[in-house]
């Protein structure tokens, strides 16, 4: 059907009946369906343990690194099922940023940014490397701060700078989607602000999915929001609608602080 093809191409990322289980017979993420459009920011919210990180990690096939974890369903990235793609390529196209900045401790700032190419065995000459490093650091507004100390260890930077370095490391690989798991929860308010401004800027070029416990952050940053509860995607819609007129009682209870 022509219609269904058009529908598929409308989304850069599409989740179909996605479930993840850590223990047989028990789904930490249960039958999630959602389509995400290009150049949007989607916030994933929900109480602790509801499956937010588990869902995010499914999108770049991280669960496969652990043999006991089972993921089922389909995840389409630009219309292609990621489970039929090379997993290394999936992780390049769906870059991940974690809660705690995690620059590689033995590497310099420069080496950190380009690390993904080494891990993927992609050969580049010095000029290409220099260009990628500079562009990536410029994208996260870190270039001016670090351009004279590229050989220093990444861990020498402040927490907020380290997080921007980690975002630069993901961007260096030219991802389609940027997955961020509570990227500011370990940062001070000023660094949080800078990372939020950055996310706003990056939205012009990338599609971002961000897990956050911070509702005002979700309201400030995201176009669309998902509310998860006990592994299920209870509600998914525009952030504006979810915050003003949630459809589900559980979403409303969460947003009004009945449970956290």
CB of 52 vs Mg ion, minimal distance in Å: 5
Chosen from Mg ion, ligand ATP, none, partner binding at 217 (C-beta under 5 to 8 Å by type) = none
In sequence order, which residues have a C-beta less than 8 Å from that of residue 137 and are 6 or more positions away? Answer: 113, 143, 146, 147, 165, 168
Of residues 49 through 68, those in contact with Mg ion by CB under 5 A are 53
Using the rule CB under 6 A, which residue among 18, 50, 96, 195 binds ligand ATP? 50
Interface size with Mg ion, residues (CB under 5 A):
1
d(CA 233, CA 242): 13
- The closest of 71, 139, 133, 89 to 107, measured between CA atoms, is 133
Burial class (CB in 10 A: 0-12, 13-18, 19+), 253: middle
User: Which pairing describes strands 224-229 and 41-45: parallel, antiparallel, or unpaired?
Assistant: parallel
Q: Measuring CA to CA, how many Å separate 166 from each of 121, 152, 218, 231?
A: 19, 15, 21, 28
Using the rule CB under 6 A, which residue among 19, 27, 42, 54 binds ligand ATP? 54
Q: Measured from the CB atom, is 172 or 226 closer to Mg ion?
A: 226
d(CA 56, CA 195): 19
CB of 51 vs Mg ion, minimal distance in Å: 8
β-bridge partners, 34: 15
CB of 221 vs Mg ion, minimal distance in Å: 17
CB of 251 vs ligand ATP, minimal distance in Å: 15
Q: Measuring CA to CA, how many Å separate 195 from each of 132, 133, 188, 205?
A: 20, 19, 11, 16
Check residue 22 for interaction with ligand ATP (CB under 6 A): yes
Chosen from Mg ion, ligand ATP, none, partner binding at 221 (C-beta under 5 to 8 Å by type) = none
Chosen from Mg ion, ligand ATP, none, partner binding at 95 (C-beta under 5 to 8 Å by type) = none
Check residue 53 for interaction with ligand ATP (CB under 6 A): yes
Interface size with ligand ATP, residues (CB under 6 A):
10
Contacting residues toward ligand ATP, per CB under 6 A: 22, 28, 46, 48-54
Site residues, Mg ion (CB under 5 A)? 53
């Amino acid at each position: 059907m022509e219609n269904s093809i058009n529908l598929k191409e409308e989304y850069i990322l599409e989740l179909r009946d996605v479930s993840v289980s850590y223990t047989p017979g028990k789904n930490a993420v249960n039958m999630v369906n959602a389509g995400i459009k290009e150049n949007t920011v989607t916030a994933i919210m929900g109480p602790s343990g509801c499956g937010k990180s588990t869902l995010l990690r499914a999108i770049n096939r991280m669960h496969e690194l652990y043999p006991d974890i089972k993921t089922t369903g389909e995840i389409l990235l630009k219309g292609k099922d990621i489970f039929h793609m090379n997993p290394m390529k999936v992780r390049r196209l769906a870059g991940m940023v974690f809660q705690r900045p995690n620059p590689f401790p033995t590497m310099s700032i420069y080496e950190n940014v380009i690390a993904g190419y080494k891990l993927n065995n992609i050969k580049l000459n010095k000029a290409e490397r220099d260009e990628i490093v500079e562009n990536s650091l410029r994208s996260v507004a870190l270039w001016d701060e670090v351009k004279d100390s590229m050989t220093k260890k990444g861990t020498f930077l402040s927490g907020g700078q380290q997080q921007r370095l980690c975002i630069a490391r993901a961007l260096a690989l030219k991802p389609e989607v940027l997955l961020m798991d509570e990227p500011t929860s370990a940062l001070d308010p000023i660094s949080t602000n800078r990372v939020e401004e950055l996310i706003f800027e990056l939205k012009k070029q990338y599609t971002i999915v961000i897990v956050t416990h911070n509702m005002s952050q979700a309201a400030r940053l995201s176009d669309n929001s998902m509310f998860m509860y006990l592994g299920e995607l209870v509600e998914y819609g525009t952030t504006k609608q979810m915050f003003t007129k949630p459809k589900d009682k559980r979403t409303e209870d969460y947003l009004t602080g009945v449970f956290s």
